[in-house]
Amino acid sequence: MAPCRAGVQVPVGALQGALAAEHAAVWVYGVAGAFVSSGLARRLDEAATAHQARRDATQRLLIDAGVTPVPPEPGYLGPEPVTDAASALRLMITAEMDAAGAWRSVVERSPADPDLRGTALEALTAAAVRATRWRATAGATPLTVPFPGAP
Amino acid sequence: MFQARPSRRRALAAGVTTAALFLAGPTALAGCTASAPAPEGPDPLEAPARRAESDVALAAAVAQAHSTLAATARALAADRAAHAATLRAELHRVHPDPVPTSTAQPVPPVVPPPASPDAAAARTALTEAMRAAQDEAAALVITLPGYRAALLASVAACCATHTALLT
């Protein structure tokens, strides 16, 4: 049974999945910074900071629920090696869509708790918007998907 | 998709199992979970379905009227058409038979305004439509059961991506 946080059940598996996705996204932005143009540095930093904040908040949520948060992996395998700006952007888009999917699962598996569902919706929305902005930067099409985060 | 080293795949699969167990549990714990809403009044998905259909019409009109906005508006129309189709499918799944008109609560249709002849105004109209759709879906995310909440969460997020492209 999932632990209760102040009377609200926490979907531990989904939150651990979201935390794992945030760990991965933080790692991706660390790697991508070496490949994308310096003109994107500010946007890259903002994205990395956003994922670090989500990671930290999710860790706290799990600890408060009496659960050990999953640690980051020492390294991650993307769909392709990162060798230039284009492959770095594709990996960033992949990381954002993974995060969107993980947070959508938190929405789906949460009880109707405004705090947790609201947080998960914010995280899903922010990831989807970043993915779209990176697609625009990369000149990728389509720029949007109808159901961000859907399996 | 993006993965950690292979062992993490198993860890994530284990997480899904945990969550499934969690979902099976709450029926025994009424104090810790929300009960299903009473089936009274129009289905809460009716309004977002109508809004999605209305947005399709608005975006199609804008695409036809303004070549500079055509690509953006057509992409928006395609996503909103996907929303409408999926929401209608869920409505049909839950209400396979049409509700008799004598007991159905009338829901006024959402009629989109015609596309403004001014491109900037048309862009603003699309932006406002996306913000309204995002707000409507986000409010439902908090209250609806899991599958529907997740569906509307994706709808809200998609509308936010279109707002980002329009502004």
pLDDT of residue B41: 85
| ipTM of the complex in this document | 0.95
Residue A39, Cα to own-chain centre: how many angstroms? Answer: 23
Nearest to A8 by CA among B149, B21, B31: B31
Q: Which residue of B has its CA nearest to A94?
A: B2
A38/chain B closest Cα distance in angstroms:
23
A12/chain B closest Cα distance in angstroms:
7
Q: Does the structure show a pLDDT above 80 at A17?
A: yes
Question: Mean pLDDT score of chain A, rounded to an integer?
Answer: 93
Q: Does the structure show a pLDDT above 80 at A38?
A: yes
Cα angle: B20, vertex B23, B24; to 5 degrees: 90
pLDDT of residue B27: 35
pLDDT of residue A78: 86
Q: Does the structure show a pLDDT above 50 at B17?
A: no
Question: Exposure pattern of A101-113 as b/e (b: 16+ CB <10 Å)?
Answer: bbbbbbbbbbbbb
Residues from chain A contacting residue B151 (CB–CB below 8 Å): 147
Interface size, chain A vs chain B, as Cβ–Cβ contacts under 8 Å: 170
Nearest to B149 by CA among A57, A18, A46, A150: A150
Q: Which residue of B has its CA nearest to A15?
A: B15
Q: Does the structure show a pLDDT above 90 at B160?
A: yes
Residue to substitute from B9, B10, B21, B22, interface A, most A β-carbons within 10 A: B22
Kindly report, residue by residue over B39-55, the tens digit of the pLDDT: 578 999 999 999 999 99
Whole-number Å distance between alpha carbons of B24 and B18: 10
Tokens of A83: 């060798």
Q: Do B161 and A128 touch (CB under 8 A)?
A: yes
Q: Helices then strands (H, E): number in chain A?
A: 4, 3
Kindly report, residue by residue over B88-146, the tens digit of the pLDDT: 999 999 999 866 555 556 566 666 667 888 999 999 999 999 999 999 999 999 999 99
Q: Do A148 and B161 touch (CB under 8 A)?
A: yes
* Cis peptide, bond prior to residue B114, ω within 30 of zero: no
Whole-prediction pTM: 0.85
Choose the closest CB to B82 out of A1, A127, A146.
A146
Residue to substitute from B144, B161, B163, B166, interface A, most A β-carbons within 10 A: B161
Tokens of B74: 């057509």
pLDDT band at A8; cut points 50, 70, 90: low
Whole-number Å distance between alpha carbons of A107 and B145: 10
Q: Do A24 and B4 touch (CB under 8 A)?
A: yes
Q: Does the structure show a pLDDT above 90 at A92?
A: yes
pLDDT of residue A9: 76
pLDDT band at A146; cut points 50, 70, 90: very high
Q: Which residue of B has its CA nearest to A101?
A: B154
Q: Does the structure show a pLDDT above 70 at A74?
A: yes
As a whole number, mean pLDDT of residues B135-163 equals 97
Residues from chain A contacting residue B37 (CB–CB below 8 Å): none
CA atoms within 13 A on the CB side of B69: 28
As a whole number, mean pLDDT of residues A71-89 equals 93
Q: Which residue of A has its CA nearest to B141?
A: A117
Q: Does the structure show a pLDDT above 80 at A122?
A: yes
Contact by Cβ (8 Å): B104, B112: no
Q: Does the structure show a pLDDT above 50 at B9?
A: no
Residue to substitute from B23, B80, B83, B158, interface A, most A β-carbons within 10 A: B158
